[in-house]
Amino acid sequence: MDDKLREILTKIQKRQIDIETGLKEIENLYYINMKYAVLDTHRQRRKGFPEVIFCQGKTTEQVVAIAKELMTHSEGNILGTRATYDCYQALAKEIPTAEYYETAKAIVIRQGEQTWVGNILVVSAGTADIPVAEEAAVTAEVMGNKVERLYDVGVAGLHRLLSQTGKLLEARVVIVVAGMDGALPSVIGGLVAKPIIAVPTSVGYGASFNGLAALLSMLNSCSSGVGVVNIDNGFGAGYLASLINQGIQR
């Protein structure tokens, strides 16, 4: 900041600019500096970070309005999570390029050139975990990552997973989505030395306590290299995986 400020002051001293102009330039500089971190975020966003709308709890009108406003400010992809099909249909009337990912319950509006880098693998333990896994997968894709899927390979039939170790080895980040006993991240963490993002799901009943059992199991993983996000938080897992993969990419 010092160099730019010195430059402004020199211009004032040399009367190349008047004081009011200097004031504004410093203010800009100042805000830019103060919001440095924020700007950094912005810079990265331009490189594949989507604008995100959490649709649940918003009216269809609100979602449409926000989406349209975002399109005027952002040149990148726009992602709507936890969206109903009804909501999508209303949106599609106004924004025909919008796509709907039914299992992920996600709306995607693609803008600009689409590129996919890295290799994020999304693994699900059971078929009932797939909606959360898809939310993670679509989030990562929209953020510019190449995503592989490996579904229904829970530990109750270990051979399903073992016959696919190749996919595990090719990934740079592995998202593991599991409910019930939440055992899968430990098993995968014992097989490969990759960053693993574990997503507990609320799949289960009784003493699963809506995902608490899986959450605790994952936090206590006997394998190292496992980070955990909130129950059913597919979006958060996809987002974190993208941050990791994009970093690797550079």
- Residues 146-185 touching a second copy, rule: CB under 8 A, are 154-159, 162-163, 165, 168-169, 172-173, 180-183
**Cβ nearer to a second copy, comparing 31 with 112:** 31
The C-alpha R_g of the chain, in whole angstroms, comes to 22
The distance of closest approach from Cβ of residue 230 to a second copy in the complex, given in angstroms and rounded to an integer, is 4
Restricting to residues 184-243, which ones interact with a second copy according to CB under 8 A?
186-187, 189-195, 197, 200, 202, 204-233, 235-236, 239-240, 243
**C-alpha to C-alpha distance for 31 and 130, rounded to whole angstroms:** 44
**C-alpha to C-alpha distance for 115 and 118, rounded to whole angstroms:** 10
Site string for a second copy, 71-100 (x = CB under 8 A): ------------------------------
Please name the residues in contact with 161: beta carbons below 8 A apart, sequence gap of 6 or more.
150, 153, 154, 155, 184, 187, 188
The distance of closest approach from Cβ of residue 71 to a second copy in the complex, given in angstroms and rounded to an integer, is 20
Applying CB under 8 A, does 46 fall inside the site for a second copy? no
Question: Which run of H or E residues covers position 101?
Answer: strand 99-101
CA angle 124, 144, 104 (to 5 degrees): 40
**Cβ nearer to a second copy, comparing 100 with 239:** 239
Stretch that binds a second copy, among 15-23, 67-75, 83-91, 101-109 (CB under 8 A): 15-23
The distance of closest approach from Cβ of residue 245 to a second copy in the complex, given in angstroms and rounded to an integer, is 8
Restricting to residues 24-43, which ones interact with a second copy according to CB under 8 A?
26, 30, 34-38, 40-41
The SS3 of residue 191 is: helix
Residue 138 near residue 109 (C-beta atoms within 8 A): no
The distance of closest approach from Cβ of residue 24 to a second copy in the complex, given in angstroms and rounded to an integer, is 10
Q: Pick from 114, 104, 113: which is nearest to 83 by CA?
A: 104
The distance of closest approach from Cβ of residue 96 to a second copy in the complex, given in angstroms and rounded to an integer, is 28
158 is written with which tokens? 């270990």
**Cβ nearer to a second copy, comparing 84 with 92:** 84
Restricting to residues 113-132, which ones interact with a second copy according to CB under 8 A?
125-126, 128
The distance of closest approach from Cβ of residue 138 to a second copy in the complex, given in angstroms and rounded to an integer, is 15
**Cβ nearer to a second copy, comparing 93 with 205:** 205
Residue 175 near residue 120 (C-beta atoms within 8 A): yes
Residue 79 near residue 142 (C-beta atoms within 8 A): yes
Residue 123 near residue 150 (C-beta atoms within 8 A): yes
